[in-house]
Every structure is written in C-alpha cells, then in structure tokens.
Amino acid sequence: MINDKLNIEFERAVDRVNDHTEPFPADTLLKLYAYYKKATNDYGKPKSKKPIINAFKTNALFQAKNISEDEAKRMYIDLVDNYFLYRE
C-alpha cells in the first residue's frame, strides 16, 4: 500500500514536470533526469545529438548510481515539490 502511494505521488510529480512550459535550470533538469531514470529502472544510454549533453546526463546518472528506485522516486518528488513551492 505504501508503494502504491509512492507511485501515485511520483506519477503526479512527473505530470507536473511534463506540464510545465518554462525551462528548468540545467542542474535541476539533470537531477530530474537521473532520478527519473533510476526510479523507472531505465538504464539506456542518453540519446542527445550533442555529446556534451550526453556527458552531463551520464554524470548525473553516475551520481545517482547508489540510490534505490523508491529512493529515486522520493528524491524526484521532493525536488519537484521544492521547485514549484516558490513558483505557484
């Protein structure tokens, strides 16, 4: 039951990010990327056409390598909540 609540909160946070139309700061975007990839267990290589972007994404994933899927979901939710706290 707790995991269901976490998944619902995570999906709501993902929806908030996807619905947001303004650009995110680069550091926030990279953290969102890494937490999302860890939370969804998606370990595919970054697919940007720009090598430098792939390098930053790979670094972000490397920094998040020791967190669990549930921890990544919580960190994603917290990051989204804190980001939007001062925007709404």
What CATH number does the domain containing 29 carry? Answer: 1.20.80.10
Q: Of the candidates 6, 72, 10, which has an alpha carbon nearest to the alpha carbon of residue 43?
A: 72
pTM over 0.85: yes
Range of the domain at 30: 2-85
Based on the structure, what is the number of domains in the chain? 1
pLDDT at 44: 79
Residue corresponding to tokens 């975007």 = 29
DSSP character for 42?
A: -
- Taking only the tens place, the pLDDT of each residue in 38-54 is 999 987 788 888 999 99
